[in-house]
Structure 1
Amino acid sequence: MILRWKAFYGAHPLHLLVLLSCLALAGYAALGVLVDPAWPRILFWFLAAVVAHDLVVFPLYAAADRALTRVRPGPGINYLRVPLLGVGLTFLLFFPGIVRQGAISYQVATGLTQQPYLARWLLLCAAMFGVSLLVYLARTGTARLRHRRHLPRESGLSAH
C-alpha cells in the first residue's frame, strides 16, 4: 500500500501529513495577522524580507559556499557548512545584542545588560564547530576501521 502511495505521491504518507500540518499552521497564523489592523505593514515587511533574501542574502551565501567548496572540496565540506550556517543564523538572530544596539532601552526594559551576548555567541560558535569536528573525527575513524576490516589479510610473511 505504501509503495503504491509513494508511486502516486512521490513520498511517504507522513510527508503529506507534515505538509498539511504546516499549511494549517501557516493558515492559522495568516488568519491571526489578518485581524490585526497593522496587517498591511506586516505584509510589507514580510515581502521586503523575501526580496532582500532573494536578491541580496542568497547570492552572498551562495558565493561563500562556492568559495568554500573550492578551498575544501569533497564530502567533508558539510562538516564546515553546518556550523557556519548555525553561526550565521545565530548572528542574524542575536545581532542587536551582540553589537549592543539599543543597550539603554534593553536595560530599561529588562534590567539586564547586553554585555554577555558576544561572549555567549562566541562560545556557541566554538561549541558548534567543536561538535562538528567530533562528529567528523568519529565518522572518519569508523570508516577507517571498516576499511581495515575489509582489507585482505597478509600471508604472515614479513618483508623486513
Structure 2
Amino acid sequence: MRLPRPTRVPFGSPLQLLLLAGSFALAAYAGVRLLADDWLAVALWFAGAALLHDLVLLPLYSALDRALAAGSVAAGRRSWMLYVRVPAVLSGLALLVWWPLILGASADRYRSATGLDPNLFLPRWLLITAALFGGSALLLALRLRRATKHRSPAAH
C-alpha cells in the first residue's frame, strides 16, 4: 500500500509573501487612521453597507442577471451574456462608488471642499457607461465577424 505524499502548503514566492505582508500592513494602517476619529460611525457605515448589499443589491442584480440569462438562452445567444455583464458590472460599480456626486446629493460639500464643479460627474459617468457598452459591442461584432469568416468556405 502506498501512502499519500504530504501536501505542500501553497505559500507562493518570497515576493508574493512580501507584497501580501505589505498589503496587510497598509490595510492595518488605513484602518487605524480611519477608526481613530469616529470609530462608531465607521463601524455603522460598514454594517449598513453590508446589510444594504446583502439584503437589497445582491437580490436585485441576481434577478437582473437571471433575467438576462433566461432571455439569452431563449434567444439562443448565451455567448452574448458576458458582453452585457462586464460593462454593466463596471458601470454599476462606478455608480455605486460615486453615486452621491453623480446624483448631486453632495454637490455643495464637494464644491466647498475642492473648489471644483461637481456637475461633471453625471455626464462623465454616462460617457464611461456608453464607452464600456460601445467597446463591448465592438468586441462582440469582431468576434461574430471572425466566427462567420471561419464558418464560410474559402473562396478559390
Secondary structure at 1:101 match in 2? coil
TM-score (norm 1): 0.72
Change (3 A) 1:62 1:38: same
Structure 1 unpaired stretches of 5+: 1-7
Change (3 A) 1:123 1:30: same
For the pair 1:47 / 2:51, whether they are aligned, the reply is no
User: Quick check: 1:107–1:113 contact (8 Å CA) kept in 2?
Assistant: yes
For the pair 1:95 / 2:93, whether they are aligned, the reply is no
Higher deviation after alignment, 53-62 or 125-134: 53-62
Displacement, 1:45? 2.7
Change (3 A) 1:141 1:61: same
TM-score (norm 2): 0.73
2:66 alignment partner in structure 1:
66
Task: Report how many residues are paired.
Answer: 143
For the pair 1:141 / 2:145, whether they are aligned, the reply is yes
For the aligned residue pairs, the C-alpha RMSD in angstroms reads 3.1
Spell out structure 1 runs of 4+ moving beyond 6 A.
none
1:115 alignment partner in structure 2:
119
Secondary structure at 2:118 match in 1? coil
Identical residues among aligned pairs (%):
34
Post-superposition CA distance 1:67-100 (Å, at most 9, x none): 1112223111110111111121111122111111
